[in-house]
Amino acid sequence: MSGRVLILGGTGEARRLATALVGEGVDTLSSLAGRVADPRLPPGEVRLGGFGGAAGLTAWLQAHPVRAMVDATHPFAATMTASAAAAADVTGVPLLRLQRPGWSAGPGDDWRWVDSLEDAAAAVAGFGSVFLSTGRKSLGAFAGLAARCLVRSVDPPEPPLPSRTAVVLARGPFTVEEELALLDEHGVDVVVTKDSGGPMTAAKLTAARERGVPVVLVRRPPLPPGVPVVATVEEALDWVRSR
């Protein structure tokens, strides 16, 4: 079997894992979905584009054997995570899920948890200025909002969008000061986001707390059963070494 390790995902954890493995001389292939026009590429070989679901990934693994696969995709990339689990089950390729811990509310936070984007849209229907920080592919659920909506993304969002949408094109991470300025400039009175976890996008939560702005958080989808899960790159490195 090949000594190659396949890493799924363009997250910061995926890049750090690829950097460490390449630094140790491990043959590493990172697979990115290609949804961002100019993604940050990790070291080592990179593959852009999807596999075509579980069947496509299974066929790819059968044609390109690897010794291990690490699913380091975004916590809300549920379809890819399910495909990885199904393909690993068919091919016997060892699979690890690397997923950062979710966020936890602290003193002064006004967090309102919901189970879906549609529930989030219902939860903010009475607000006047909404910061939609859910990703540019998730905005269709909010298309019916009458409020002023702020959307920030790396690439222009695709319709449908709320009728009164202001778009800011920018790539993070952002500081708390930058997030405070954004909330103030647009008069934001509620923030909507997914429980992505990690420090890279947490500044907006701190800014919301400082301004007394409530945050509607969408819970993560459940993980497939039977797949080992770790929370840190270091744990993932130890697992790969043990293969």
pLDDT over threshold 50, residue 39: yes
Residue 153: pLDDT over 50: yes
Residues 67 and 21: their CA atoms lie apart, in Å, by 13
Q: Which helix (H) or strand (E) holds 6?
A: strand 5-8
Q: What percent of the chain has pLDDT over 90?
A: 89
Distance between terminal CA atoms of the chain? Answer: 12
Residue-wise pLDDT for 172-191, tens only, equals 899 999 999 999 999 999 99
Q: How far apart are CA 68 and CA 27, in angstroms?
A: 11
Q: Rounded distance, CA 61 to CA 93, Å?
A: 8
Name the superfamily (CATH) of residues 5-101+221-241. Answer: NAD(P)-binding Rossmann-like Domain (3.40.50.720)
Percent of the chain with pLDDT over 70: 98
Q: Exposed, middle or buried by CB within 10 Å (0-12, 13-18, 19+), for 60?
A: middle
Quickly count: other Cβ atoms within 10 Å of residue 143's Cβ: 14
Helix, coil or strand: residue 27 = coil
For residue 26, the number of C-alpha atoms closer than 13 Å in the C-beta half-sphere is: 25
Verdict on whether the full-model pTM lies above 0.85: yes
Q: Which CATH class is domain 111-218?
A: alpha beta
* CA 195 vs CA 19, 161, 199, 218: distances in Å: 26, 22, 12, 6
Domains 5-101+221-241 and 111-218 fall in the same CATH topology = yes
Nearest one of 125, 119, 174 to 152, comparing CA atoms:
174
How confident is the model at residue 137, as a pLDDT?
Answer: 86
What mean pLDDT comes out for the span 3-13?
94
Mean pLDDT over the full length of the chain: 95
pLDDT digits (tens, 9 = 90+) for 68-123: 999 999 999 999 999 999 999 999 999 999 999 999 999 999 999 999 999 999 99
CA proximity to 165, closest of 201, 136, 195, 204: 136
pLDDT at 194 over 60: yes
pLDDT at position 36 is 62
Q: Indicate the domain borders of the chain.
A: 5-101+221-241, 111-218
pLDDT reading at 37 higher than 80: no
Residue pair 226/94 in contact (Cβ under 8 Å)? The answer is no
- Which has the closest alpha carbon to 196: 97, 25, 77, 69? 77
Beta bridge partners of 169: 153
